[in-house]
Structure 1
Amino acid sequence: MRNETIEFIMAGRRQRHRRGLIVTSLLAVLACVLCCAMLLLGNTIYPASEVIRALSGEELKGVSFAVNIIRLPRMLAGLFAGFAFGIAGYTFQTMLRNPLANPNVIGITSGSSAAAVYCIVILQASGAVVSVASVIAGLATVLLIYVLSRGRTFSIGRLILIGIGLQAMLDAVISYLLLIGSEKDIPSAVRWLTGSLNGSQLRELPPLVIIVLICSPVIILLGKHLSILELGEQSATSLGVRTDRTRIALIVSSVFMVAIATATTGPIAFVSFLSGPIAKRLVGTGASSIIPAGLVGVNLVLASDLIGQFAFEYRFPVGIITGLLGAPYLIFLLIRMNRKGEL
């Protein structure tokens, strides 16, 4: 009887692991297909052979400029920013055990955005200055939220409420900056706030790529601890997890990715909010959804950008499309949580 029980448990574990691998592989394949579509499609559709030749360094009239200067940076920005938003959103939602606890809702993205808008509108800066200011502001925002929410004991509900309040204040700061800014700087700031892959340049991407390549493995390595934190503070402590140290490592890694992604593409709405729940639903319970959440983020950003470019008479930034997808889900989630008495 005991052996049968153990075998039953192991069979279930193997099945969950197999499902996780299949889902992750399919998401990766879809991401590759969307990356190829980003390189092939545009005002002119080029054959795959010419795109490959252009990427290999061969000079082809028209093709080289379109692929290497416009489409490749756009695709890479969407790829790494989507992965960063997806993993960071899943980390916050899992660690704080609340689907509303993502960087968009609790004010972290607004902190980065306020700093970036200040640099663009007031300092008239761009590039590295905006990126550095965005990262510093994102870290300062999450530190402030964390300190204010601790009290005598750490409270998830208190953290979310303080984050939402701080987000409202920072959004007001952004509106004020747009009101007092120069007319020539306002369009670029508004376009950046919408979240867009337009105008992405290869020279602006190394910080995003480096941060994602450094911070993603940290979060993946802490994946087991992240799952234990989902059980609650007391349970995690009793199981030997150093909760404060683990939480700080996860928060810092996630905030760095969110801040640098926001500085690169602007705050693409709802990607960090949607990626985790979608990944969990696809992978199922009992398996880590960290990498699938990142891949869902990639697919959301790239697919939404393609929809924004080609599905309508006018071209829309990626942030508008993801906003249209995410807003109904947010309303549905709030209604469901209210019925369960979680609000």
Structure 2
Amino acid sequence: MPASPVAPTRGVAAHRRRYVLACGAISVVALAVAFAALCHGTTWSSPGETFAGILGRGDKAFVISEWRAPRVLAALVFGAALGLAGAVFQNLTRNPLGSPDIIGLDAGAWTGALLVITLASATPALLAVGSVTTGVATALVVYALSRQQGFSGLRLVVIGIAVNAMIVALNQWIILRSDLDVAIAATAWSAGSLNGLDWSEVLLPFGVVAVLAVGLALCSRTMHQAALGDEVAVTTGVRLGRHRLVMVLLGVGCTATVTAVAGPIVFVALAAPQIGRRLTRSAGVPLAAAAVTGALVLVASDLLAQTLAKPIVLPVGVITTALGGLYLIWLLVKEVKR
């Protein structure tokens, strides 16, 4: 007697419902943390004052809407972008270590920003062009080397780690060869920071991230088909070569856009997709869960960076590096036990 299709259909529906509810819960927590960040500053604003300030009313309207809001919204959007970038490369490599900051793409994007800072006037447009150009170049080099004798996700990760080490050395050499003032500024920015951002600096990157997110959403079905294996993907009509190239460009675009504005904020792209996958109990690495988890991780890390050493405001990269290091140790220990 053939098996009834009702049970599998109900299972899929239940999984989708759980996935949507989990993503919604993560989003609500991220927005709650973001509201707390809006309340936080040199002086604490009550929730009522903060809500009025968002609407442009009250004595603190300018402070909240012009000083705090760009930073908080940048944490949400950039965190989502980094989560998406991490999900892209972890799906491509089928490896939880396949993250832009591990395989050299963040360092490559940072090289372009460094060259702009040391050799030209560091305008936002030039920083964006420099970061995206060198980030894409790094990704293409890593991808081309990993395709030797057939594409391998593990080979891509190993080659990426080696390329990352060489690029980090190059970045340090550029800083050492630059003028003292430029070197100090570049070193401070290399930690990854959202300090001092205003609307003029973030509106264009927000638009770029939105376009890239739409592109990834359109490619998401093909991405999950490819994650099932090359043979399955080909039989379902996926053109693997073109698909991988498009996904690499979209993923690099996400991480390079963030690097151009805030510097290399590391480990969010590594941790957010896997945390999101576990919270939603998904078999693969879903994009939406990675995005909302990345937003939560970055906005919470930024709020922590503002409060830990108050009145000194730490770069958010200091917090994400510390948390990411702990996560990486846990991940490696878990993989070794397998």
Which one of the candidate residues 305, 314, 317 is aligned to 1:316? 314
Instruction: Give yes or no for contact 2:93–2:152 (8 Å, CA) kept in 1.
Output: no
Q: CA deviation at 1:201?
A: 1.6
Matches within 5 A, 1:173-252: 173-252=170-249
Moved more, 46-55 or 306-315: 46-55
Aligned to 2:38: 39
- Structure 2: stretches of 5+ with no match in the other structure: none
When the two structures are aligned, how many residues end up with a matched partner? 337
Against the structure 1 CA distance between its residues 287 and 118, is the aligned structure 2 distance closer, same or farther, given a 3 Å change threshold?
Answer: closer
Aligned to 1:22: 21
- Structure 1: stretches of 5+ with no match in the other structure: none
Instruction: Give yes or no for contact 2:224–2:284 (8 Å, CA) kept in 1.
Output: no
Aligned-partner Cα distance in 2 for 1:336–1:44: 43
Instruction: Give yes or no for contact 2:277–2:283 (8 Å, CA) kept in 1.
Output: no
Which one of the candidate residues 142, 145, 148 is aligned to 1:148? 145
Aligned to 1:51: 50
Q: Secondary structure at the match of 2:313?
A: coil
- Amino acid in the other structure paired with 1:8: A
Aligned to 1:337: 335
Aligned to 2:288: 291
Aligned-partner Cα distance in 2 for 1:84–1:56: 27
Q: CA deviation at 1:160?
A: 1.6
Aligned to 1:74: 71
Q: CA deviation at 1:229?
A: 1.3
Against the structure 1 CA distance between its residues 99 and 131, is the aligned structure 2 distance closer, same or farther, given a 3 Å change threshold?
Answer: same
Q: Report % sequence identity.
A: 32
Aligned-partner Cα distance in 1 for 2:162–2:100: 13
Q: CA deviation at 1:69?
A: 2.9
- Amino acid in the other structure paired with 1:131: A
Instruction: Give yes or no for contact 2:142–2:156 (8 Å, CA) kept in 1.
Output: yes
Against the structure 1 CA distance between its residues 244 and 200, is the aligned structure 2 distance closer, same or farther, given a 3 Å change threshold?
Answer: same
Q: CA deviation at 1:244?
A: 1.5
Cα offsets for 1:68-94 (capped at 9, x unmatched):
332111112111110100011011101
Instruction: Give yes or no for contact 1:223–1:288 (8 Å, CA) kept in 2.
Output: no
Q: TM-score, normalization: structure 1?
A: 0.92
Q: CA deviation at 1:339?
A: 4.5
Q: CA deviation at 1:53?
A: 4.1
Moved more, 100-109 or 216-225: 216-225
Instruction: Give yes or no for contact 1:35–1:302 (8 Å, CA) kept in 2.
Output: yes
Instruction: Give yes or no for contact 1:102–1:272 (8 Å, CA) kept in 2.
Output: yes
Which one of the candidate residues 256, 260, 264 is aligned to 1:259? 256
Correspondence 1:275 to 2:261: no
- Amino acid in the other structure paired with 1:159: L
Against the structure 1 CA distance between its residues 51 and 328, is the aligned structure 2 distance closer, same or farther, given a 3 Å change threshold?
Answer: closer
Correspondence 1:98 to 2:95: yes
Q: CA deviation at 1:289?
A: 2.2
RMSD between aligned residues = 1.9
Instruction: Give yes or no for contact 1:124–1:185 (8 Å, CA) kept in 2.
Output: no
- Amino acid in the other structure paired with 2:85: A
- Amino acid in the other structure paired with 1:2: P
Q: Secondary structure at the match of 1:194?
A: coil
Q: CA deviation at 1:52?
A: 4.0
Q: CA deviation at 1:259?
A: 0.4
Aligned-partner Cα distance in 2 for 1:270–1:125: 25
Q: Secondary structure at the match of 2:321?
A: helix
